[in-house]
Structure 1
Amino acid sequence: MKKFLIGLVSLIVIAFVGLQIADKVVKGGEDYYVQITTDGERIDEKDSSGNPYVDYKYSLPGYDKNGEKKVLNFNASKDRPLRREAFLKVTWNEKKGVTSYEEVTQKQLPKKAAEKLGF
């Protein structure tokens, strides 16, 4: 009976750790929170067909849920800059850099990240 319980507990722990790792792989990295404080650097480019498009390049400090800082470099492919004072949840991957971002409200910021951002 003891061996069965030990095996069951071990299986649960391994499954939990595996799910945590899988979650990071699926999400593509770690989440950081930034506040847009500039209009970004406008970059006018052309695609492979010669059609013009605009990117805005940003380099901003981001904070994870524990308040750890990382400078994040990313582009926004829009015809206008990102909205100033907006909060973004940015997914950062060690190999790929920033893989995605989405706007969040101030209430959605983790406490330590919000403190580092001045709130």
Structure 2
Amino acid sequence: MKKVFLGIGALFILFVAGLVVLMTVDFNRLNKDTYYVHITSDGEVEEYKASDGQIFELYWYELPAINEKGEEMTLRFSAQKNLRHDAYLKLYVKKENEVSSYDEVQFDDMPAKVQKQLK
């Protein structure tokens, strides 16, 4: 009987640990290359209509991005709002040029090579 309770307890602990991992880990950022960009202009607005008739706006940006090694690449990504001018973003890139997510960062938090190129 003890073995049954130990087995059930172990399964419960694994289940709870799995839920915690699913709730806290952002898989859009996990094991992705990072690039940095400087927002200097408004994005191109694309409007689309949902099946219920509601109209949504998507803002597209195509900017030169720099990785931690100082290598430059032009990346195209979208945002659900017009991004703030003079903001610095950390882009998470998969499959060479597909941006999966981004975070706003402070200039001082970027690597030194990136700071030199984005000044």
Segments of 5+ residues of structure 1 without an aligned counterpart are 1-24
Once the two structures are TM-superposed, the CA of residue 87 in structure 1 deviates from its matched residue by 0.2
Alignment CA distance shift 1:45-1:28 (3 Å): farther
Name the counterpart of 1:104: 105
Alignment CA distance shift 1:26-1:37 (3 Å): closer
TM-score if structure 2 supplies the norm length?
A: 0.71
Name the counterpart of 1:47: 50
- Identity rate of aligned residues, in percent? 37
Alignment CA distance shift 1:42-1:103 (3 Å): same
Highest CA radius of gyration, 1 or 2? 2
Segments of 5+ residues of structure 2 without an aligned counterpart are 1-27
- TM-superposition CA deviations, 1:38-96 (whole Å, max 9, x none): 10101111123331101100000110011101111001012xx1000100000011167
TM-score if structure 1 supplies the norm length?
A: 0.71
Extract structure 1 runs of 4+ deviating beyond 6 A: none
Contact 1:34 1:60 in 2 (8 A): yes
1:1-119 aligned within 5 A: 27-78=30-81, 81-94=82-95, 97-118=98-119
Give the paired residue count.
93
CA RMSD of aligned residues (A): 2.0
